[in-house]
Amino acid sequence: MGRVRLFRQKLINHVDSVAVKTVYSWLLRQTRDRFGVASGEAEQVAQKGYLLLTRSLVNRLEEQIQFRALAGAEAHRKRPACELPQREVVLTPWSHDDLELQREFGLKTLQNARMARLIEEAYWQHASLTAGMLCFLANVTGKSIRERLAPLWEEGARLPVAGMAKKYRQGRAFRSTMALDRFLAGEKPTAIRQRLWLSMATWQQYQVDFLHVAQLSEAGLDPAAIGERLGLHPALVAEYQDLDRRTGGAAKLAESLPGRLVSAAPLAGGGQDARTWLLAELQLQHAFSLAKAHSFLALLEELAAEDLTQQRSPETVVYYAVAEHEPPGKALSECELVPVQLTYYSPADVSVVSLDATSELKWQRLLRYTTQARSQGGLLTQPDLAFLLGVHPGVIQHLMKEHPEVVLPTRGNIADMGPGLTHAAKIIELYLQGYTETEIVRRTGHGYSSIENYLLTFAKVVGLIERGMPLPLIRKTTGCSMRLVDKHAALYRKYNTPDYQFMLMQLRRVFEATTLKKGTERG
């Protein structure tokens, strides 16, 4: 049991370290701290604000990409995908909801939810994805995709993958309709959410959308008009209408929390735009004054205008990384976060993508994400990278061990936060082994100035050791930490052999030149 609890606590720590960097988390903190809303209610307010962002204020969120999928919601013609018509769609490869799922149900549920979301988002935009496209986007093998989706296909879920068997294309229902149907039949919500890979926020939104559809249906609107007002696909609206006719679900949900909130609040649409709806929601449901509600709306509009809509290429996402200058040991909540643009997918990835293995694809993306973040003044952690790739942090560690010749510029390496050989030590070893600075730059992703600083520090330690100075005094003289001095001393002992004397002599000359220069300046 002890190991289970330890594993669980590490999982929570990893999830928390990533969650603090999402747009939703920032909005939640603003709601709680700036607007003085209690924690439980702040989640409801932040979710409504985030809903306004996603459905009305922006066309593409920071975590979204544009991707060319097959045209048509269900493409099943037996022809190569490259020969079929395509269309560009907006997809969400990762979301803050994924973290909630991982915390509650584990990594596998997070991975499954991502695949299902990608499939459904393509469908909403009259497009479909092939198994190869899912491998490319979700870093999951073709075999794993089939094994994970097949149980839901067997149960009648509408999750169309191009080329799927005919038996999985008939009598389908969306996950949201299946979830509501099961709930109305008496199944426990937690079991439903785990089975269908739904976060609590998503599950609650399904109920609200269902009740809105029922209300607008009573007003005589057709599915297309309802879908346009609520931002829902007409096929989903039709399923909700059919479910309500069969079960009387809207009446049964009227006394639930979503039902009580919906019945008292004006709908988005109905002669009012989404901004007016949110202002009324905040005043009626959360006791905001009109001025306070307008201030919250202004915050969302500013966020949409300045951050979410910034110009970037179709394949690029924005992620918030810890600023490079932040020292180790500082609480993450107090660290400066900087937005970095990451190329989520690249044409170069096509050369390594495979239906049978994803290790090369993951490694290529690790290299790209860490290097791009570092070049923009941010540092990604192993949990950040694991979240972006949809894998366990242990996979990141394993990939790094498989490529010992490359030093990833992660926060752990740059800030010397992790155990083992640091980035500085690895750079010094490469230099002692005869690699040029240009080769070291290419292998490690570090700049020339950083590499020169690491070598200069090592040269000082070597020079002072050879002059008989004790290590504590070297620490005081160089201003380095004792840990770093000890590691440099260990490297010196390891490489102070005949084979490496030429490179050590170069470092001795660097030491002599710098100390002579300083002595001349003092004179």
Q: What does the pLDDT look like over 81-112, one tens digit per residue?
A: 667 889 999 999 999 999 999 999 999 999 99
**pLDDT given at position 511:** 86
Which residue, among 499, 485, 498, has the nearest Cα to 425 in the 3D structure?
485
Over 70: is that where the pLDDT of 80 sits? Answer: no
Q: Which residue has the tokens 């540092």?
A: 379
Which residue, among 229, 176, 230, 245, has the nearest Cα to 207 in the 3D structure?
176
164 or 268: whose pLDDT is higher?
164
Identify whether the C-beta of residue 461 lies closer than 8 Å to the C-beta of residue 474: yes
Under DSSP, is residue 141 helix (H, G, I), strand (E, B) or coil?
coil
Over 90: is that where the pLDDT of 285 sits? Answer: no
User: Of 153-157, 222-226, 324-328, which range is least confident?
Assistant: 324-328
User: Which is it for strands 86-91 and 316-323: parallel, antiparallel or unpaired?
Assistant: unpaired
Q: How far apart are CA 60 and CA 495, in angstroms?
A: 53
Over 50: is that where the pLDDT of 250 sits? Answer: yes
Q: How far apart are CA 372 and CA 435, in angstroms?
A: 23
Q: Which residue has the tokens 């039902």?
A: 259
Over 50: is that where the pLDDT of 523 sits? Answer: no
User: Of 49-58, 419-428, 492-501, which range is least confident?
Assistant: 419-428
Distance of CA 272 to the CA centre of its chain: 34
pLDDT digits (tens, 9 = 90+) for 370-382: 999 999 999 999 9
407 or 251: whose pLDDT is higher?
251
pLDDT band at 522 (very low <50, low <70, confident <90, very high): very low
Averaged pLDDT score across all residues of the chain:
85
Under DSSP, is residue 163 helix (H, G, I), strand (E, B) or coil?
coil
Over 50: is that where the pLDDT of 8 sits? Answer: yes
Q: Which residue has the tokens 């346009």?
A: 228
Q: How far apart are CA 214 and CA 184, in angstroms?
A: 15
* Residue 141 identity: T
pTM here is: 0.78
pLDDT band at 404 (very low <50, low <70, confident <90, very high): confident
pLDDT band at 512 (very low <50, low <70, confident <90, very high): confident
**pLDDT given at position 149:** 94
pLDDT digits (tens, 9 = 90+) for 109-168: 999 999 999 999 999 999 999 999 999 999 999 999 999 999 999 999 999 998 887 777
Q: Give the gyration radius of the chain's Cα atoms.
A: 28
Share of the chain above pLDDT 90, in %: 46
User: Which is it for strands 127-128 and 65-71: parallel, antiparallel or unpaired?
Assistant: antiparallel
Q: How many residues does the chain have?
A: 523
Residue 96, both tokens: 């803050």
**pLDDT given at position 77:** 63
**pLDDT given at position 265:** 52
Over 80: is that where the pLDDT of 349 sits? Answer: yes
Answer positive or negative: Cα dihedral of 294, 288, 258, 268: negative
Over 60: is that where the pLDDT of 275 sits? Answer: yes
pLDDT digits (tens, 9 = 90+) for 111-127: 999 999 999 999 999 99
Q: How far apart are CA 371 and CA 410, in angstroms?
A: 9
Average pLDDT, integer, range 469-498: 87
E strand residue ranges, 175-332: 316-323
User: Which is it for strands 65-71 and 378-379: parallel, antiparallel or unpaired?
Assistant: unpaired
User: Of 37-51, 351-365, 442-456, which range is least confident?
Assistant: 442-456
Over 80: is that where the pLDDT of 170 sits? Answer: no
Dihedral angle computed from the Cα positions of residues 68, 70, 73 and 77, in that order, rounded to the nearest 10 degrees: -170
> String of b and e for 5-34 (b: at least 16 CB within 10 Å)?
eeeeeebeebbebbbbbbbbbbbbebbbee
* Residue 350 identity: V
Identify whether the C-beta of residue 396 lies closer than 8 Å to the C-beta of residue 387: no
Identify whether the C-beta of residue 344 lies closer than 8 Å to the C-beta of residue 361: no
Dihedral angle computed from the Cα positions of residues 269, 273, 275 and 281, in that order, rounded to the nearest 10 degrees: -30
Average pLDDT, integer, range 218-243: 90
pLDDT band at 416 (very low <50, low <70, confident <90, very high): low
* DSSP-derived secondary structure letter, 157: B
pLDDT band at 76 (very low <50, low <70, confident <90, very high): low
